[in-house]
Amino acid sequence: MSDPLAEIIALLHPRAPFSKMVEAAGAWRVRRAEVGQVYYCLLLAGRVRLDVNGKPPVELSEGDFVLVPATQNFAVSSVDPVAPPGFESRPLVRPDGTVRVGPEDAPVTVRQLVGYCSFGSPDAGLLVSLLPDMAVVRGERRLCDLVRLVREEARAERPARDVVLEHLLQVLLIEALRSSTQTSGTPGLLRGLADDRLSGPLRALHAAPDRAWSAADLAREAGLSRSAFFTRFNRVVGMAPMEYLQSWRMTLAKHLLRSGRHGIAEVAARTGYGSASAFSLAFSRRVGQPPARYARGD
């Protein structure tokens, strides 16, 4: 059966990675507003406190990894000693590209590998909304190895570098999300896949988006009544079942149209529409332009 998480990560097209080694000492705090960026951090030594978008703070220790798929505002600060309220440090970028935070004459107590990347999908906002706001993985060696591979590849000038990086980033994101020991608890796909009643319907509709699904069909896949299924899906995934199906079909349609390898009739059939005209009408209403114009990139 289909793997919804792998499909969504692949469609996001992660790219343009940037990473830096950060060393810190004493009391310090760094704030950032990286709207639309994917933020990740591997703590190599010491302890830090992470505050993301006003959510409860998370403390990271050596070997911990955190991933934030859609960072808006966040702060990273020292734990011992604690930075005073309102205090902010000014990072110093050294000639070798490493970053120093805190007093220059104090011994280094924290080392972290910080990275950013972006998503190339035109539907990135929708797809990211299906992922948790934050994922924390404690002491997972595989993630440490992946982060180092991404950093090494990003800094090198090898043939096919961008292709290798995209695949490495896909693996990194999937591994972080499926290994997470702590998420924000927000509704989304990951919570749906972890739900013993909803994982079946989600995998089924991803495996056959061309099927004429109804809410009753999906409720039967879940072994629930229609009303119980509707309520549970809304609460766990964050949207109504048929809204999720429609959004996923349109996301697939955009991907197929942009590839330039499929005609409108074929895209309509592969996304569950009985005719090209019905698909064109639904696509135009949803996207704001006809599928032919979208395919041309007008």
Q: What DSSP letter does each residue of 7-39 carry, written as one string?
A: HHHHHH-EEEEEEEEEEE-SS-EEEE--TTEEE
Residue 188 has pLDDT above 90, yes or no: no
- Summary mean pLDDT of the chain: 90
Same CATH topology for 4-183 and 189-296? no
Three-state DSSP state, 179: helix
pLDDT value of residue 178: 85
pLDDT value of residue 55: 79
Q: How does pLDDT run across 71-121, given as a tens digit for each residue?
A: 678 899 999 899 998 899 999 999 988 999 998 889 999 999 999 888 988
Residue 287 has pLDDT above 60, yes or no: yes
Q: How does pLDDT run across 227-273, given as a tens digit for each residue?
A: 999 999 999 999 999 999 999 999 999 999 998 889 999 999 999 99
Percent residues over pLDDT 70 in the chain: 96
pLDDT value of residue 254: 93
pLDDT value of residue 32: 84
Could you report how far apart the first and last alpha carbons of the chain are, in Å? 36
| CATH of region 189-296 | 1.10.10.60
DSSP state of 108: P
Residue 143 has pLDDT above 70, yes or no: yes
Q: Are 5 and 177 a contacting pair, CB within 8 Å?
A: yes
With bands split at pLDDT 50, 70 and 90, how would you rate the model's confidence at 125? Answer: confident
Domain ranges of the chain: 4-183, 189-296
Residue 193 has pLDDT above 80, yes or no: yes
Closest CA to 72 of 36, 103, 102: 36
pLDDT value of residue 185: 63
Q: What share of the chain is helix, strand, coil (3-state, %, to 5)?
A: 45, 20, 35
Residue 298 has pLDDT above 80, yes or no: no
Q: What is the distance between the alpha carbons of residues 7 and 40, in angstroms, rounded to a whole number?
A: 21
Going 201 to 202 to 205 to 208, the CA torsion angle's sign is negative
Which segment of 100-114, 127-141, 187-201, 225-239 scores lowest on mean pLDDT? 127-141
pLDDT value of residue 183: 55
The structure tokens listed for 271 are 């996304």
pLDDT value of residue 16: 81
Mean pLDDT of 190-212: 94
Residue 1 has pLDDT above 60, yes or no: no
Q: What is the distance between the alpha carbons of residues 23 and 113, in angstroms, rounded to a whole number?
A: 9
174 phi/psi in degrees, rounded to 5 = -65, -45
Which segment of 28-37, 94-103, 284-293 scores lowest on mean pLDDT? 28-37
Cα 28–81–176 angle (5° rounding)? 70
Mean pLDDT of 268-295: 94
Closest CA to 197 of 224, 179, 227: 224
Q: Give me the CATH topology for the region 4-183.
A: Jelly Rolls (2.60.120)
Omega prior to 81 cis, within 30 of 0: yes
